[in-house]
Amino acid sequence: MSNLKTILSLLEGAELKNCPSPESIEIEKVLPLTGKNAKFISFVSSKAFVNDAKASEAAAILVTPEIAELIADKTLIVVPQVELALSTVLLHFSPLKKPDGKIASNAVIHPTAKIGENTSIGNFVTIGEGSVIGKNCLISDGVKIDNDVVIGDESRIGMNCAFYHGTRIGNRFTVFANSTFGGDGFGFVFANGKHNKLPQVGRVIIGDDVEVGANCTVDRGAITDTTIGNGCKFDNMVHIAHNCKVGNHVVIAGQSGLAGSVTLGDYVIIGGACAISDHLTLVEGTIIAGGTSLRTSPKAKDVYIGWDLGLNFPDFQKYRVNIKNIVVLNKWIKRIKDVEKKLGIDLPDPS
């Protein structure tokens, strides 16, 4: 249980409207506008939900200044960015688990490994020779950390993740269950009737404030390192192949993959189920729409979409229209041929 005055104090730059006594308004949770518990706070981030807000039973509603002008007689918390304020409120009511410095008795930690202050280590964790874990980390059950791995301060490692030797992870890293970092890249040479493995001797190096979903893989470099910049966010089942160079604040949605030696500039966004072919470069700010297969490097910053076409969004729209026109044209050709047949007209097809 909390009150509106306390919540308001958490939100920098927030302004309260239509509520003279915020300390008297009790808040128990965050719910959608359609919630029926009167002791909840909700939010509106789009004009499309203004009518829902007017009918809502929420005790208070997070809104932008623009939307606040459209809603009267409701207790409003006016903030610059609704989603950002919402994240603060959600963490207030549902705080993350905090490390307590406890180390499970069945964890196996090499004597040369260094564990930072107040770091928690779960059941059946193994930490190898020479590895360094920062302070205030939370290492969940079943995590396997190989030799000479570094994981920065305030990191949260999900269950059963694996970190191969030499991997370097920055501060405030978050990863969910069953992801793997630093496994061998997919490097083989075909000779003498078989696929011969090329040794993968690079590392994985990840910056600060990176979040990775469940069941992701980041391969070590073949010779040079695979690198991921600061602030990157990867969804579930994302694959980063060997020698990729990922810039800062890159976002990659679920089931997308980068083939070997792809370079992504800062602030690139890749939608779900995308396939980026090897050795391509995407310049800063490029956006790849979901389901796109890219085999050539885009020439400029733009929104690209399509299946193995490498088209930007306007050109893809033209492509779709042309396909539709061809389908319609073929229908007209059939109708004309049917009419000619009924009229007894026998003309050769144009070549």
Active site residues: 242
Q: How far apart are CA 128 and CA 264, in angstroms?
A: 32
Q: How far apart are CA 351 and CA 283, in angstroms?
A: 44
Contacts of 280 (CB under 8 A, 6+ apart): 262, 263, 294, 295, 296, 297
Looking at residue 329, what DSSP letter applies?
Answer: H
Q: What letter represents residue 180's amino acid?
A: T
Is the Cβ–Cβ distance between 27 and 43 less than 8 Å? no
Q: How far apart are CA 295 and CA 276, in angstroms?
A: 7
Is the Cβ–Cβ distance between 175 and 157 less than 8 Å? yes
Give the length of the chain: 351
